[in-house]
Chain A
Amino acid sequence: MSAQSADETIALTLPPLIQARPAQAPRAVSTTLPNGLDTVVVRRPTVPMVEVRLRIPLPAANSRSAAATTARGSLMSSSMLFGTAARSQQELANDLAAIGADLSVSVDADRILFSTAVLRTGLAALLDLLADVVTSACYPSAEVAAERDRLGQRIAMALTQPGVVARMARARRLFGDHPYAQTLPDPAVVAGLDASILRRTHRDRVRPSGATLVVVGDVQPATVGRQATAAFADWVGPSRRSRVLALPDFDPMGITLVDRPGAVQSNLRLGGAAVGRSHPDYAALQLANLVFGGYFSSRLTENLRERNGFTYSPNSGIDNAIAGSTFLINADVASEVTARAVHETWYELGRMALYPVTEDELDSARRYSLGTLALSTATQAGLASTLSGLAGQGLTASWLTDFQKAVAGVTVADVQQASRRYLSVSALATVIVGDATVVKESLASLGPILAPVRNET
């Protein structure tokens, strides 16, 4: 505390925290429809809206098919709303707009995700439209060909973004030939696609069994159950075993340097294996991540940003994908301090593994973890996305309560053990995208630079 000025009438000291009433755990009503579609419905009438997520598994069957699956999934997701047996593209778009909906279809290495919000009064219509799309999307040939060309241009544009290049380089380093290395579709594979391939892929992969529909908002769960059963009655298809390939081992030794001549910044990316939401170490790992770099009040931010001014927004986090979880560190730093930033990051990792965190650091991380979980599930959109993500990993809303209990019980020793296991310098690969002529020599003083890779753009 600094000295108080004389004219203050009340001594200003930091007010205490009051225990707030606990957030209500969401009451999720789960059912499986006759066609195999799982549904999760939560009544949350904060605004007269409804959030809807429909998640359909789309893992690649094996490494050989990974590039094809990524390209097809990407073009399929951006072409899926080009019309159905009953509606043209314009009619479908108009019908969605009429209920206030903006339906987005996104894809990653695990799934296709339909995501939208709709006026309360339009939910039944939305479910009918969704059912129309999954059962009869028609992929008109000319429109698909035009979209294929646009997708090619979007990929080319993405490859000029240093953040995209860095993400690709790290994924290649961590995942080798596993489908997770495919962070962007290969333009050459995209160029070979056509509407008939998409129609076949849709028929094979867009099936109710294994899919999950999440509905959160101003609804009555029983009504939604009836509406969904009626809407999706014609969506059928034999269940498909979607086997998920295990993540490969990788060699964390050495620094990958992707040369980006003329870059005024370097993208520093680290990554390594972590554990997922069901693992007993998960809560301790989350708190270790927070103390290290997972929020603003972290050691990494204090060091790289607030002490050294190397970077704007350093961060770390845990990516939970179905085949496995990954611990990730990101910082975009001034070119001339690249090696120093790597050194400081490694130093902070070593400190996490070798010394206990303070009780204050642990308490702060614990309260942040619990508080932000409550904040993120306090909105219709946040809760819907959270429940959809959990469903993708075979988890339900009860995981939220279990996680809160686990976080409450984490000790300083638990954090140190988790740090040794998952935040260890020797377990993480380091990837740099930057101007090699500026950064290479100093980086080489920290460790071997792996065979130089040209920026593929």
Chain B
Amino acid sequence: MPVRVPTLPVPALHRLTLGNGLRVVLAPDSTAPVVAVAVYYDVGMRSEPQGRTGFAHLFEHVMFQGSAHLPKLEHARQVQGSGGVFNGSTHLDYTNYFEVLPAGALERALFCEADRMAAPLLTQETIDNQIDVVKEEIRVNVLNRPYGAFPWLQLPEVLFDTFANTHNGYGDFVDLESATAQDAASFFDSYYAPGNAVLAVGGDFDVGQATTWVQRYFGQVPARDTPTRPAFGEPALTQDRRADVVDPLATTPALAIGWRVPDPVDDLAAFLPYVVLSELMSDGDASRLEQRLIHRDQLAIHQSMYLGLFGDPFDARDATAMIFQAHHGSQVNAEQLLGAIDQELQALATDGVTEQELGRVRARIAAQLLRHADPVLGRTQSFAAGELIHGRAEFATELPGRLAEVDAGSVAMAAADLAAAHRAVLELKPGAAA
């Protein structure tokens, strides 16, 4: 039988909103003398204008190129020279910047983040430099390797229709190369207003002291208009869709399937069963697709089924997707895989799931969430993302309980809905000699 699932004590969250609109979440926790700072801006790849594909990600790079009081490279030097680490990443609906440092460096980290929220240096020289860097990033991750960015760059073109949802978020080289300092200034002005951002601070600090520092450094950033966010949702598919892509560097085929799923924010109750469904179907050796496709039928070399293009169910708004992908040998064709997946979804829809199996899936989900919450950065990012996407930092602490409440009937219903829904199928055909 599955074991009793332990839970985390819910931390006290402190929040404030500055006069300029910046939403702040403070999550003190003294288990280790370290702090995490995360700034989430409510702009991602989906907000890029036509002709400026890849701009949100390029701009993320440029945010590390200096600011009013910190010359180029100085942000990294301040964070790392304090004994900390940093990074940033660009998602469909947000762009984040974060550091983890020894607790004594908190004020410095807040200063650095506030400085670039107020006034990043946006020169043509640094933009040209980062265009070159981003092109090499794309070559490493996409162009110079087989299966590069499969399927997150290719599948949306089949599954969705609007420019926002289908375009290449890494960027076409033509678009990247024509980016100017003026574009950057206007992108910053539109989307990087303090009222369009969330600051989360987690770890070992005094709430009163941190509040003073947040007000001192971030309070000085002038208020600006915040953009109206367009809805990126799309109507359900009215028929199945299929496409092929040839990968000139691959020697064996791969398959991706995408299904539309409920709105993860406005229809959370309908979305959560899909989270449990993806775990039950595909996560770990005990999962149904691992058993069927790998061990029993030996159709695939590797399989995974997950929510969200980047594998995090909770980091995107509508429209998002359930995705399946597999690498398989040339002797197996896509129809065999599609047939087996249909059968497994049908079986789950018809026969349901036992409490025993569901208990195992719940134990796995709980363990993954607890493990993610151990590092102070993981906790802090969950609070920031919860506040930005779901409007509530508490979303992160409530999630384990919400997922544990998903019952067998709603998982079977999600499987039935998926089995009946139209889907987008993308086959990757190998273009290289084996």
What residues of chain A have their CB less than 8 Å away from a CB belonging to chain B? Answer: 1-2, 4-5, 8-10, 12-23, 46-49, 81, 89-90, 92-94, 96-102, 117-122, 125, 143, 146, 149-150, 153-154, 156-157, 160-163, 218, 262-265, 295-297, 302, 305-313, 332-334, 363-364, 367-368, 370-372, 374-375, 378-382, 457
Contacts and interface: CB of A to CB of B under 8 A. Distances in A.
8 contacts: A14-B111, A97-B363, A99-B363, A143-B295, A309-B136, A367-B81, A378-B32, A380-B374
Contact of B4 (A121, A154, A372): A121
Interface in B101-160: 101-105, 107-108, 110-111, 115, 128-137, 139-140, 143-146
Nearest to B279: A97
Nearest to A99: B3
B140 to A, nearest CB: 5
A227 to B, nearest CB: 14
B347 interface: no
A218 B375 CA distance: 15
A363 B34 CA distance: 20
A367 B285 contact: no
A124 to B, nearest CB: 10
Contact of A156 (B32, B105, B252, B302): B252
Interface string B20-60: 00000000000111100000000000000000000000000
Given A102-B364, A160-B146, A311-B133, A146 B298 contact: yes
B100 interface: yes
A125 B3 contact: yes
B69 A14 contact: yes
Contacts of B83: 367-368, 370-372, 374-375
A306 B129 CA distance: 7
Given A121-B3, A374-B32, 5 more contacts: A17-B105, A153-B329, A154-B302, A364-B81, A457-B251
A218 B290 CA distance: 31
Contacts, number: 260
Given A12-B111, A97-B284, A312-B133, A297 B80 contact: yes
B246 interface: no
Contacts of A49: 367, 370-371, 374
Interface stretch (B70-78, B226-234, B309-317): B70-78
A156 B301 CA distance: 12
Contact of A157 (B69, B248, B286, B327): B327
A279 B434 CA distance: 46
B69 A98 contact: no
A311 B130 CA distance: 10
B432 A160 contact: yes
A195 to B, nearest CB: 15
Contacts of B80: 295-297, 364, 367-368
B249 interface: yes
B405 to A, nearest CB: 18
Contacts of B128: 309
A17 B79 CA distance: 11
A94 B286 contact: yes
Interface stretch (B5-13, B388-396, B416-424): B5-13
B360 interface: yes
Contacts of B31: 46
B285 A89 contact: yes
A330 to B, nearest CB: 11
A237 B413 CA distance: 52
